């Protein structure tokens, strides 16, 4: 549909397409699960497929637990109306939890005792809660700032357009949360988690994951608003007006930035920038900061080349950023053992890598 084309041409979509990010397979799994669970009557095959997809999504990104919570609520709703048994519900929930649990066990057995949860949990419950409350204020500001940056930034007209977008989206989201729709519960749970997450600088990536839902809500909210006005416009024309209006609104916001990104990629300013213009960092930094970033990237690439020269093909390289070693140096790499790792596992890990 037209809304999908607009989403694909958003600045944040184009920038993320230039890198290798876990958001893409995660979004695919969640979106397919949401489509399956949007059915009025869910068959056992539907529930099984959705649980597997959500389990895979949680394996890709820990924040997938938001989808598990939404799945639990949707399945309990099915039980309460007599469409599903408690036993089946428990089975599907366990199926969704299994990949994450099994991976956690594998990590612990291999000395990986750290996870993203460690970034939130402090030495006591009181300190953990205090840290979360402090983070809420910071992340709320980051959420507003980075939501704007997904399209464009600056100016009263831009701010007004974002307000209109959000008002329509909230109208549709409230309607869907009222009927217990999976997607609405997931979006609520997901946003609650990222508001507590101590990584405000990554908020644009975090919001990007639920942007397809927000764009659909904006369209649906506009449609519902037209219907609520009691006009004589047919339902089909209400949908056409709503989708056209929202697409024009988003395009007016994103158009200049989208044009600049495509221009940099297709026609870079110089030969030296041709490769760098195809990296996400090039488009997320101010022009004044690009030179220092280029220098850093060149040093990384140079060091990766030296890793290839100095190590045999079968070598394992211990690194705090193993994905750099995997991609650029083409060598196996593991993070150093965690500080709470037992002596036996610590020695084994160092022997292995």
Read off the pLDDT of residues 282-319 as tens digits, 9 standing for 90 and up: 777 777 777 777 778 778 778 877 888 888 988 888 88
CA-CA distances (angstroms) from residue 242 to 148, 160, 273, 294, 317?
21, 18, 41, 43, 54
Tell me the pLDDT of the chain (353 aa) as tens digits. 789 999 999 988 998 888 888 999 999 999 999 999 999 889 999 999 999 999 999 999 999 999 999 999 999 999 998 899 999 999 999 999 999 999 988 877 876 666 666 666 655 677 777 777 878 888 888 888 888 877 765 555 567 888 899 999 999 999 999 999 999 999 999 999 999 888 888 888 899 999 999 999 999 999 999 998 877 788 899 999 999 999 999 988 888 888 888 888 887 766 556 777 777 877 777 777 777 777 787 787 788 778 888 889 888 888 877 878 888 888 888 877 766 667 887 787 778 77
Taking the C-alpha atoms of 238, 243, 245 and 247 in order, what is their torsion angle to the nearest 10 degrees?
Answer: 180
pTM for the full predicted model: 0.82
**What pLDDT, on a 0 to 100 scale, did the predictor assign at position 178?**
94
Angle at 193 between CA 35 and CA 258, to 5 degrees: 65
Are the CB atoms for 88 and 47 separated by under 8 Å?
A: yes
């Amino acid at each position: 549909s037209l809304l999908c084309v607009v989403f694909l041409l958003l600045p944040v979509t184009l920038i993320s397409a230039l890198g290798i990010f876990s958001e893409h397979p995660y979004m695919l799994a969640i979106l397919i699960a949401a489509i399956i669970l949007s059915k009025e009557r869910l068959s056992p095959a539907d529930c099984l497929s959705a649980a597997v997809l959500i389990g895979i999504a949680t394996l890709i990104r820990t924040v997938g637990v938001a989808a598990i919570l939404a799945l639990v609520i949707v399945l309990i709703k099915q039980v309460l109306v007599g469409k599903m048994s408690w036993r089946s519900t428990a089975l599907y929930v366990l199926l969704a939890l299994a990949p994450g649990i099994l991976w956690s066990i594998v990590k612990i057995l291999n000395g990986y005792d750290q996870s993203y949860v460690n970034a939130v949990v402090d030495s006591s419950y009181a300190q953990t809660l205090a840290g979360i409350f402090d983070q809420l204020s910071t992340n709320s500001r980051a959420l507003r700032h980075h939501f704007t940056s997904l399209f464009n930034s600056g100016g009263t007209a831009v701010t007004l357009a974002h307000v209109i977008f959000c008002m329509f989206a909230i109208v549709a989201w409230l309607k869907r949360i009222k009927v217990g729709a999976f997607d609405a519960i997931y979006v609520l749970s997901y946003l609650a988690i990222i508001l507590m997450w101590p990584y405000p600088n990554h908020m644009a990536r975090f919001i990007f994951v639920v942007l397809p839902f927000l764009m659909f809500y904006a369209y649906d909210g506009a449609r519902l608003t037209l219907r609520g006005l009691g006009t004589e416009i047919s339902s089909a024309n209400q949908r056409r007006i709503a989708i056209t209006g929202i697409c024009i609104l988003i395009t007016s916001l994103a158009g200049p930035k989208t044009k600049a990104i495509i221009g940099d990629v297709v026609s870079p300013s110089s030969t030296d920038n041709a490769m760098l213009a195809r990296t996400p960092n090039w488009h997320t930094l101010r022009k004044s900061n690009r030179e220092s970033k280029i220098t850093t990237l060149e040093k990384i690439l140079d060091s990766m080349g030296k890793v290839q020269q100095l190590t045999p093909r079968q070598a394992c390289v211990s690194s705090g950023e193993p994905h750099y070693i995997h991609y650029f140096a083409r060598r196996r790499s593991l993070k150093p053992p965690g500080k709470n790792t037992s002596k036996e596992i610590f020695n084994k890990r160092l022997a292995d890598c």
